[in-house]
Structure 1
Amino acid sequence: MTPIEQAESISSKLKLNRVSLKNFLTTQGILIVFIICLAGFSMFSDRFLSEENIMTVIRQASMIGIIAIGVTVVIIGGNLDLSVGSMLSFATVLVVDLHDKIGPTNAIIVMFAMTLLIGAINGLLIGYMKLNSLIVTLAMLSAIQGITLIYTGGQNVDIANQDATWFAVFGRGFVGGIAVPILMFAVLALCVHFVMRYTSYGRRIFAIGGNPTAAVYSGIRKSRCVFTTYMISAFSVGCAALVLGSRVMGSQNNVGQGYELLVLAGIILGGTSLMGGAGSVWKTVIGVLILGFIQNGLLLLGYPYYTQWLVTWVIIIVAVWLDLANQRKRLFTSHS
């Protein structure tokens, strides 16, 4: 082999290695960030990587994660759901208030029925009536919060005899040493991940989010698929309401306020594109955990609570900027 051929071979191998490294960073970058965050905070706090603290963070993040799983499906389908915060307030207030009136089992059934009804309204307006998802869910956020205040008369609700009900199992229970909220988070994530990755329904949602016009011409019923994504989102909110209501055994009228931002931050941090058609449930799980560990690390380092909101804002801005830059690069590459 001549020196020129050797140089070309080395150049080709280096180029291949760069491409492989780039592909690895693209697909596994979120996991690398997660490991870096864990290592970074552990250097400044001995408690950070303790088993007790890790399980506490995962347990606290599980409620946001449960909601984020449902919203991830909506966003992959090319839409948004900003109503989940107020929906969480309403569902939690409803299940706690009805607990003493009709019993925990009936309260849970009614709560899920009403939450799914809200999801159906969102799905009907956005999927079948073709209204803008941002406007519809933003309006629904306000409407649900108003309904919650009217329902309670502005008063907080509590379960009377908290020690005599099995309802506490959802927020305070353990199975095999693992907290029930963590198990609910894991089971829901596995089920939705399987559906989105290995079923025709999941492929239809990705197709609709990626190219809705082509999806329709391919025979996909876009309206029905969009409707079902909002039902999945509403169901996940209902599951989170079980966790929140049974953990506190009571509820404030605005208990879910701000959760929509935390949910979006976790989803965006996980790499799901706001443009639709790209995303992963398991990466959303990692994104939510990163957010939870960052917030926990800041508290352990002695920073005030409000710094979490500032950090969340920075995460959202940076993640959205990276997502838009990536979309522009894909668009440029496809036209070049």
Structure 2
Amino acid sequence: MAKLTKQDIGKLLAKQGILIAFALFIIGFTIANPKFLTLDNFENVVRSSAILGVMALGVTFVVISGNLDLSVGSMMSFSTIVVLDLHDKLGPTLAIPAMFAMTLCLGALIGILVGYLKLNSLIVTLGMLSAIHGLTLTYSGGKNMDIADKEGTWFSIFGQGNILGIQTPILIFIALAALLGIILAKTPFGRKVYAVGGNGTAATFSGIRRARVVFLCYIMSALCVATAGLIQASRSMGSQNTVGQGLELEVLAAVILGGASLLGGSGTIFKTVIGVLILGFIQNGLLLVGLDFSVQYVVTWIIIILAVWLDIAAKRGKLMSPIA
């Protein structure tokens, strides 16, 4: 039997480290609390992670293209508040497409600034985080939103309904992950996203319209954020105007955990889903073993640091090196 070298272990961790970590988390929390690995608990974790997961799917495209999107938390707050407000003014049939259109306009603005004007994505989306938060407060007048007639509307189906015994948020998450996974892995557009993130200059010289690809990635991100906002609004039938505050960091953590490189050019939808579930199961497992909710923030920070180190070290080919 061949002996594993440090290089072999490094390659294994670089390619399958996320799946190994996921298995270890499941085993560890199951030993700590047998209730962890039950069907009911698994369903609850996936359902509670659906909003974060839907947002992470769109951000995966952005990160693979070599950019960042820190505006998704504020944008989700905006989407949630808008659809709740328009629900009572226009009815759900018109409120939903109107909210999607407004959210896509925000995504298009970011796409133009980063893609066509070639501004730094970190600076642009960080600025948009504050701008959209201000827009949300202005739109809502600083007030929270609630649906007036919660019993007489079909709007709750997106966050509270179920189809064939499976909760709707889970089905939306799965369906969107499958669709975007196919787009990223099997279409010319998906290949262009990888090419632009891997080497934007080379992609441009090969005839790929880099600006257009980046623009469409931000449109994809905005579409996913609007979907998440719809689920959030439908789940609670009301919302604070800061409901998405801080989610941008959790979303980015999930995408990085899924193996999407901050340097661009790598990542998959499937592994992003695994990254989302890891965060969800960690939070759930910590609560089941009796640790305070605030500990989750510390653990999430540690996980982000480890994930970034694994990403950069693997890219340099020094994963097992003491100077990685």
Instruction: Give the structure-2-normalised TM-score.
Output: 0.95
Look up the equivalent residue of 2:236 and give its one-letter code.
V
Q: Which amino acid in 2 is paired with 1:269?
A: L
**Structure 1 residue 153, shift from structure 2 partner:** 1.1
Deviates more, 1:22-31 or 1:67-76: 22-31
2:181 aligned partner: 193
1:184-333 matches, within 5 Å, as: 184-329=172-317
Query: Cα distance 1:23–1:320, how it changes in 2: closer, same or farther (>3 A)?
Result: closer
Q: Which residue of 2 aligns with 1:132?
A: 120
Match of 1:144 in 2: 132
Bigger Rg, structure 1 or 2: 1
| Structure 1 match to 2:92 | 104
Letter in 1 for 2:164: G
What is the root-mean-square deviation of aligned Cα atoms in Å?
A: 1.6
For 2:239 and 2:136, the matched residues in 1 are separated by: 11
1:85 — aligned with what?
73
CA shift digits 1:166-218 (9 cap, x unpaired):
10000001011111111111111111111111111111110000000100000
Give per-residue Cα distances to partners, 1:49-99, cap 9 Å, x unaligned.
111111000000111000000000000000000000000000000001110
Counterpart Cα distance in 1 of 2:135 and 2:14 = 43
Q: Distance in 2 between matches of 1:81 and 1:60?
A: 22
The alignment covers a number of residue pairs equal to: 319
Report what 2:52 is aligned to.
64
Give the whole-Å Cα distance in 2 for the aligned partners of 1:222 and 1:248: 40
1:23, distance to aligned residue in structure 2 (A)? 4.6
Name structure 2 gaps, 5 residues minimum: 319-324
Q: Specify the alignment match of 1:46 in structure 2.
A: 34
Deviation at 1:28, TM superposition (A): 2.4
C-alpha separation in 2, matches of 1:329 and 1:213: 23
Q: How far off its partner does 1:21 sit?
A: 6.2
Q: Which amino acid aligns with 2:206?
A: S
1:177 paired to 2:165: yes
Question: What's the secondary structure of 2:249's corresponding residue?
Answer: helix
Report the CA distance between 1:314 and its aligned residue. 0.9
Q: Given that residues 51 and 231 in structure 2 are in contact (C-alpha distance below 8 angstroms), is that contact kept between their aligned partners in structure 1?
A: yes
Structure 1 residues 21 and 312 mapped into 2: Cα distance closer, same or farther (>3 Å)? closer
Pair 1:28 & 2:16 matched: yes
Secondary structure of 1:154's aligned partner: coil
Cα distance in 2, alignment partners of residues 65 and 163 from structure 1: 28
Q: Partners of 1:105 and 1:39 in 2: how far apart?
A: 45
Relative to 1, partners in 2 of residues 1:302 and 1:58: Cα closer, same or farther, differing over 3 Å?
A: same
Could you tell me whether the CA contact under 8 Å between 2:22 and 2:274 is conserved in 1?
yes
Kindly state the Cα deviation for residue 46 of structure 1 after the two structures are TM-superposed: 2.2
Quick one: distance in 2 between partners of 1:118 and 1:25? 38
CA distance in structure 1 between the partners assigned to 2:59 and 2:47 by the alignment: 19
CA distance in 2 between partners of 1:242 and 1:29 (Å)? 33
The structural deviation recorded for 1:304 is 1.2
Q: Secondary structure at the match of 2:184?
A: helix
Deviation at 1:329, TM superposition (A): 2.1
Q: TM-score, normalised by structure 1?
A: 0.92
| Partners of 2:81 and 2:241 within 8 A in 1 | yes
For 2:193, the aligned partner's letter is I
TM-fit CA distance, 1:161: 1.1
Offset at residue 328 of structure 1 (A):
2.2
Which residue is 2:321 aligned to?
none
